[in-house]
Amino acid sequence: LDQRLTLNNGYPMPRLGLGVWKTSNTDAAHSVSQAIQHGYRMIDTAKQYGNEPGVGAGIQDGLLKAGLNRKDLFVTTKVLNGDQGYDSTLRAFEASLKQLRLHYVDLYLIHWPVDGKFIDTWRALEELYRNGQVHAIGISNFDSERLTELLDKTAITPMINQMEFNPLNQEKDLRQVMQLAGIQLEAWSPLGGGAALSNPTITKLATKYQRSAAQIILRWDYQHGIITIPKSTHVERIVANSQINDFTLSDEDVAAIDALDQGKRGLWYDDFAWHNPTNPKALTGDVQA
């Protein structure tokens, strides 16, 4: 769990962490503390999740109980759509730090590319990075077109693009663009929100390797060099999801999972709404399927 990849700026990032989307403050405090005590060294939250205070409490509790220091942990948070823009992003960052009870975050991401705003937002992230208040900066949910615009118009290449990614949605074209630019893929919803777990190819491999379906998928990500942040509020799942280093998928079985790609993102959200700077729901994060 402390195995790290080196980002394009030389900063090391753990290969697997805990995601806390759709997790209440109370659950987040508990899951985060338990995850740290069970060896997790990376936590991924966002202002939009509304649980930064719970995550902050969980970090304090977990570090104390595990006898660790802040620098042992890698913490990610993200700019809310409604906070995008240069000055408002700088203010939002300070507020997130306070909520998380931290002096810096390891990785700060633009949560969604709000059209007409994400360039100014990125310039604020560059400023925070140059000041040393964040150790790496990146983006989330940027398609090739918006990523290319960002690369054309700004100075610093993102270290991370965090995308919805799972065996049913493998973003092959986008990954090529990212690879050329040296941007690391981080997968949100690596288990497909649970949906990929019941895929027959995955369950067959689970039987073959005597592992859970989740472990098969997370191991497949690992062998592809993809960083993952599986979410669970159940401690036994949190622990099991991290136990992927005692087996190896054969090349043939990796290829069998590669072949599951359907090239479509989850249908539960309105992708257009998230990029729309005039959609009030997208600005607060209140967009439902």
Residue 155: partners with Cβ closer than 8 Å, 6 or more residues away: 126
How far separated are the first and last CA of the chain, in Å rounded? Answer: 34
The answer to the question of residue 237 lying near ligand A2P (CB under 6 A) is yes
Look at the alpha carbons of 154, 272, 159, 99 in this order and tell me if their dihedral is positive or negative: positive
Among the listed residues 131, 123, 83, 84, the one whose alpha carbon sits nearest the alpha carbon of residue 104: 131
CA pair distance 227, 205, nearest whole angstrom: 21
Residue 269: active-site member: no
Ranges within 240-269 binding ligand A2P (CB under 6 A): 240-241
Among 14, 17, 58, 230, binds ligand A2P (CB under 6 A): 230
Q: Which is nearer to ligand A2P, 39 or 193 (CB)?
A: 193
Among 60, 77, 140, 232, binds ligand A2P (CB under 6 A): 232
Q: Which is nearer to ligand A2P, 55 or 150 (CB)?
A: 55
CA pair distance 76, 65, nearest whole angstrom: 21
The answer to the question of residue 214 lying near ligand A2P (CB under 6 A) is yes
Hey, how many other C-beta atoms are within 10 angstroms of the C-beta on 22? Answer: 12
- Minimum distance from residue 195 beta carbon to ligand A2P (Å): 8
Window of 9-17, 65-73, 234-242, 264-272 that interacts with ligand A2P by CB under 6 A: 234-242
Ranges within 1-30 binding ligand A2P (CB under 6 A): 19
- Minimum distance from residue 187 beta carbon to ligand A2P (Å): 8
For residue 101, what are the CA distances in angstroms to 51, 64, 155, 243? 12, 14, 30, 29
Ranges within 96-125 binding ligand A2P (CB under 6 A): none
Q: Which is nearer to ligand A2P, 118 or 188 (CB)?
A: 188
Q: Which is nearer to ligand A2P, 14 or 19 (CB)?
A: 19
Among 51, 76, 89, 212, binds ligand A2P (CB under 6 A): 212
For residue 241, what are the CA distances in angstroms to 11, 194, 214, 233? 24, 13, 7, 12
Identified catalytic residue from 40, 49, 108, 222: 49
- Minimum distance from residue 19 beta carbon to ligand A2P (Å): 5
Count of alpha carbons within 13 angstroms of residue 77, beta-carbon side: 28
Site string for ligand A2P, 163-192 (x = CB under 6 A): --------------------------xxxx
Q: Which is nearer to ligand A2P, 83 or 171 (CB)?
A: 171
- Minimum distance from residue 22 beta carbon to ligand A2P (Å): 8
- Minimum distance from residue 28 beta carbon to ligand A2P (Å): 11
- Minimum distance from residue 123 beta carbon to ligand A2P (Å): 31
Q: Which residues bind ligand A2P (CB under 6 A)?
A: 19, 189-194, 197, 212, 214, 230-234, 237, 240-241
Just list the catalytic residues.
49
